[in-house]
Chain A
Amino acid sequence: MPSKVEGWKDEVYGNEIREHLMEFAEKGWESIPEDEQDAWFERFKWWGLYHQRSGQESYFMMRIGTPNGVIKPGQLEVIGEVAKEYASGPAQNPEFGDAYCDWTTRQSIQLHWIKLEDIPEIFDKLEAVGLGTQQACGDSWRNIVGCPVAGKDKHEHVDAWPVAEDLHETFKGNDDYANLPRKWKVAIAGCDEGCGQGDINDLAFEPAEKNGELGFNVRIGGGLSRKEPRLARDLDVWVPPEQAADVAGGMSALFRDHGDREDRFNARIKFLMDEWGPEKMRSVLQEEYVDFELETAGEDMRDQYSYNTGSQDGHNDHVGIHEQKDGNYYVGLNVLVGRMGADDVLELAELADEYGSGEVRLTQRQNIIVTDVPEENLDEFTSEPLLENYSPDPSPFMRGSIACTGTEYCSLSIVETKNRQVRYARWLKDNVELPEDHKDFHIHLSGCTASCAQPQIADVSLRGMKTRKDGEPVEALDIGLGGGLGDDPRFADWVEMRVPADEVPGAIKNLVNNFKDAREDGETFRDFVEDRDEETLAEMVEPEETDYDDPYMHNTKMTWYPYAEDDDMQSSPAPTNGAGEPLTSDD
């Protein structure tokens, strides 16, 4: 029997939701019938709107999908203006203030505190410059990710950007693929560094050569959620760039028809891959969903991958100054936990215009890249005061930090994340010294098992938990080690569980010191972890209180907003009307 959500989707889904959304927006929050709210909020996701968590009713997170993270000239200014004008809530964040953009691990943008009544104006502003929220959430084609410097990169063999753009244009708003059993995440990259992160996507196109021609090998069924991480499996298919859309369409139609619509927990294609295996998946694709003979896999470039491999050479991320193939440079700026104030976004838009082409790109490590900077502009650009906070040469602990949304806004998260990871990174920078040959050290903090911060592919993986300390419940984290991508991708081993959040920085300090003492010359952290069993590693993680202070040890989920002066759920000003004035529940 189809799930309740499937029933709602059968009634109204896809493009047609917009008409209803606009009508509700025009009439105001209270026009959504109470007994239809759950159904409408589920549907609004398709248009990139996620109702915020308990205590924040009537406010939405808005996600803007920017394929491959490409923000074209003129678009960043509008994103900053929209954030400044509309993404302000009833309370401020102590680290980030009021009105900010979150750059996500899927090269998208998230804004918070969006009011229903403002949505038509926001859509007008975004769409006027070619941006949109369509299918940014919900059960369909999500934002397509890839190498963020596609088309610019010296390591590129196939320019994947036109292919990504074609996939975006073909499958966004396409009624044939609008209602899938669950989300559908696609990655495409043409470089030999592996920065598309295809291994953790539902469908991945990776560069490969066949009969002297460059194209893509296809992998299926990767994903990290729900303590069920999977690496995408080789489908033994190669496609030339011009047939990528045909295979992608065939695969997503196969998922549409064969994915589980009865149990949403079992709906992702990784579970169908578990059941079928790659051979059956390939044969069903061939027989039912494409009208040409599929080629077998070509010769891939995975043995050259360096991205997020912990190898300490090559390209572990896109931070720093790098020459493009046209002789200009791209400057990757570190954005700690991906959050950037609206004023800073507006200033960066001006700088990108002044020193580069005006284009910027988002990475899957929550950072931002200013592209097309001529060599003669580099010194002046990198001397701009803004880059003191968004450095192209940050501490490894700053550049390696990723955090999901957490209990600030998310219903599913167990713990506070963004502000905590900011505090962790600052403390680690001041108190911990990595070996000199370690410039990259990735710490990913995810508030729950949904794994939006991709904890399983970090050197140090942190996942939200609870424990008791002196008998009282406190926020805690599970600690995993040694995850990463590359030719031989590996998920972290969870070695120390339920560590009180205020003891985690001390645990990382002790771990790094133990690693420095015990490593062989030149041994990387990732190799070090791989060569040791969980028990040995657990002994090296010694949780300890330090002078690190954690203001979020209490149950932040029980608050209406964790940083409000009066954070009690009963003090929530939500829901509000279009002017942000609280609505009483008995009117």
Chain B
Amino acid sequence: MTTDVHQLDDGAWISVNDSREVNVSDLWLLARSDFCGCETTDFLAEGFVKVGVDYPDIQARIAGQCISCGESGVTDWLTVGRVVDPDSGEFHGVVHESVHFPEKRTRLASPEE
């Protein structure tokens, strides 16, 4: 089946196959990111701005702030979890406290015109 991904409630959470899977208010560690000048960005997720699928990864661009330096903005694409078996649709979230590497591009859940 197709993996259905969207953000809802003003970007409060990401739904994967109609299940609430990723929430705002977690801290993510971002490395090799140009989000701010910190070596590792201690990033507070405040809202999911865009979501996408780059099979098997579920990705998102997240609005938030580095709680070390105060820089705020929107991240590049971050993998927030995976749906390894599209037939079962089961979502496996990443450990947000681990170090993550934002990427420049991904495929949108709903392609833009």
Residues on A close to B: CB < 8 A? Answer: 1, 3-5, 34-38, 42, 53-54, 57, 225-227, 264-265, 407, 410-415, 448-450, 465-468, 473, 476, 497-498, 555, 557
Contacts and interface: CB of A to CB of B under 8 A. Distances in A.
Contacts of B72: 227
A34 B18 contact: yes
Contacts of A450: 10
A449 B67 CA distance: 15
Contacts of A413: 25
Interface stretch (B39-47, B52-60, B79-87): B39-47
Given A466-B27, A498-B70, A448 B46 contact: yes
A467 B25 contact: no
Nearest to B97: A473
A519 to B, nearest CB: 29
10 contacts: A1-B113, A42-B8, A225-B10, A412-B12, A465-B65, A466-B25, A467-B67, A497-B70, A498-B67, A557-B23
Contact of B46 (A264, A449, A476): A449
A449 B12 CA distance: 11
Given A1-B110, A1-B113, A467-B67, A414 B25 contact: yes
Contacts of B26: 555, 557
A265 B110 contact: no
Interface of B: 4, 6, 8-13, 15, 17-20, 23-27, 42, 44, 46-47, 49, 65, 67, 70, 72, 110-113
Contacts of B8: 5, 38, 42
Contacts of B17: 35
Q: Which 8 A-B pairs have the closest CB atoms?
A: A411-B12, A412-B12, A557-B25, A414-B25, A466-B44, A411-B9, A35-B18, A4-B6
A412 B24 CA distance: 7
Q: Which of A4, A450, A498, A557 has the most CB of B within 10 A?
A: A4
B23 A54 contact: yes
A54 B20 contact: yes
B25 A555 contact: yes
Contact of A36 (B18, B42, B70, B112): B18
B20 to A, nearest CB: 5
B74 to A, nearest CB: 11
Given A35-B4, A466-B44, A498-B67, A265 B11 contact: yes
A471 to B, nearest CB: 11
B9 A412 contact: yes
Contacts of A415: 25
Contacts of A227: 72
A38 B18 contact: yes
B42 A468 contact: yes
A1 B112 CA distance: 7
A56 B2 CA distance: 27
Nearest to B109: A4
A476 B25 CA distance: 11
B52 to A, nearest CB: 13
Nearest to A37: B18
Contacts of B24: 411-412, 414, 448, 557
Contacts of A42: 8
Nearest to A473: B27
B17 to A, nearest CB: 7
Nearest to A35: B18
B18 A4 contact: no
Contacts of B42: 468
A9 to B, nearest CB: 13
Contacts of B44: 414, 465-466
Contacts of B110: 1, 3-4
A577 B4 CA distance: 27
Contact of B15 (A38, A412, A448, A555): A38
Contacts of A497: 70
B41 to A, nearest CB: 13
Contacts of A449: 46-47
B67 A468 contact: yes
Contacts of B12: 53, 410-412
Given A411-B9, A414-B24, A465 B113 contact: no
Contact of A412 (B47, B112, B113): B47
A410 B12 CA distance: 9
A463 B72 CA distance: 15
B25 A407 contact: yes
A415 B4 CA distance: 29
Given A411-B12, A448-B46, A473-B27, A465 B18 contact: no
A414 B64 CA distance: 11
B89 to A, nearest CB: 9
